[in-house]
Amino acid sequence: MSRRNRGIGLKAYGFLVYFFLYFPLIVVLLFSFSPTKTIVGISGFTLKWYQELFRDQNLLAAFLHTISIGAAAVGIAVVLGMAGAFFVSRVHFPGKSVFRTLVLLPYILPGILMGISLLVVIKALNIPLSPLTVLLGHVSFTVPVVMFQIMSRIARMGPNYQSAAMDLGANPVQTFWYVTLPMIRTALIGASLLAFTVSFDEIVISYFLTGTWMTLPVYIYGMMRYGLSPKVYAISAIILCLSLALVMLMSRYTGRSADVYRVRSRQD
């Protein structure tokens, strides 16, 4: 086999995997611009589904619900997750290693399990279903996401920077504000974006905890009962683009590349 052909099998295989993964997404994107309602045969180009979409008040409301639930859940998750991460990193308590491994459990557990458990508790406490119960559900899995990211950043950072700050005269508040927070900033941004993306897509837990106040995925799921409307393609295409933007933004802040603290050195 010549040099040029080496690994051609692997390349073809890789292409197939990506094709398998992304072909349906491309199809959705294409059909969102197709004037015909059927899946076969695209002819022409139209934005009418998008126009219809923006006339659908219920759908727009559901979209706004999703955004606000996501923002609120991320806000709460950042506060709780960061506090939790510092607690686990600094305080020694029995069963800590078990706790550390179980942190991600609410995120990993099947949504149906989390959904039912939360619903059972909420019903038992006689709390009516409302946007707040949906928010509770979303907080349950965004906190672990944020906490896990911050924990690993703290672990990589080590305790010496904090010791050095204290040693140089910074009290605990100053140490957090001037040293710890800037050093975990990128992890915090990355974790927030990830948590928002996860919250944006979430359907199962929301489905259990939502009353008449629906989030976008739950609403789309409802629409599907009346057949595949091209409106669904259009909204899917929009979500796809939003998610892509978020993922690209996120990759700047999480992972290895974020270890190099790219800080614009402001001229002073």
Partner 1 sequence: MAEENAIELRGVKKAWGDVVAVQSFDVEIRKGEFFSLLGPSGCGKTTTLRMIAGLEEPTEGQILLEGHDVVRVPPYRRNVHTVFQDYALFPHMTVNKNIWFPLKMRGISLSDAGQRIDRVLRLVNMEGYERRLPQQLSGGQRQRIALARSLVDEPAALLLDEPLGALDFKLRGAMQKVLKDIQRNVGITFIYVTHDQTEALTMSDRIAVMKSGRVHQIGTPDEIYSRPATAFVASFIGEMNFLHGRRLQAQGEMPQAEVGGHRFRASRSTITGTPGSGDEVLVCIRTERVQVNSHRGTDHEVEGTVRRIVYRGTDYELTCDLAGQEVRAVVSAVDWNPELRVGTQARLGFNAADITFFPQAEEKEIVQYTTEAV
From 86-94, 127-135, 167-175, 201-209, span contacting partner 1 (CB under 8 A) = 167-175
For 37-49, the DSSP string reads: SSSS---S---HH
Q: By the 8 A CB rule, do 210 and 129 touch?
A: yes
The residue among 229, 241, 245, 266 whose CA lies nearest residue 56 is 229
Assess 116 for contact with partner 1 (CB under 8 A). no
For 195-255, the DSSP string reads: HHHHHHH--HHHHHH-SS---HHHHHHHHHTT---HHHHHHHHHHHHHHHHHHHHHHHHSS
Backbone angles phi and psi of 229, in degrees to 5: -80, 140
Instruction: Please return the burial class of 120, using the count of CB atoms within 10 Å of its CB with bins 0-12, 13-18 and 19+.
Output: exposed
* Residue 162, both tokens: 């904090």
From 7-15, 118-126, 162-170, 224-232, span contacting partner 1 (CB under 8 A) = 162-170
From 6-14, 16-24, 73-81, 173-181, span contacting partner 1 (CB under 8 A) = 173-181
Q: Which position among 123, 161, 211, 222 is part of the footprint of partner 1 (CB under 8 A)?
A: 161
Residues 181-200 close enough to bind partner 1 by CB under 8 A? 182-183, 185
- Give the nearest distance from C-beta 81 to partner 1 in angstroms: 21
- Give the nearest distance from C-beta 36 to partner 1 in angstroms: 55
Q: Which position among 166, 203, 223, 238 is part of the footprint of partner 1 (CB under 8 A)?
A: 166
Q: Which position among 163, 243, 251, 257 is part of the footprint of partner 1 (CB under 8 A)?
A: 163
Assess 168 for contact with partner 1 (CB under 8 A). yes
Assess 255 for contact with partner 1 (CB under 8 A). no
- Give the nearest distance from C-beta 147 to partner 1 in angstroms: 22
- Give the nearest distance from C-beta 188 to partner 1 in angstroms: 13
Assess 88 for contact with partner 1 (CB under 8 A). no
- Give the nearest distance from C-beta 82 to partner 1 in angstroms: 17
Listed in sequence order, the residues at least 6 apart from 58 whose beta carbon sits closer than 8 Å to its beta carbon are 219
Assess 257 for contact with partner 1 (CB under 8 A). no
What is the biggest distance separating any 2 CA atoms in the chain, rounded to whole angstroms? 72
Q: Toward partner 1, which CB reaches closer, 19 or 177?
A: 177
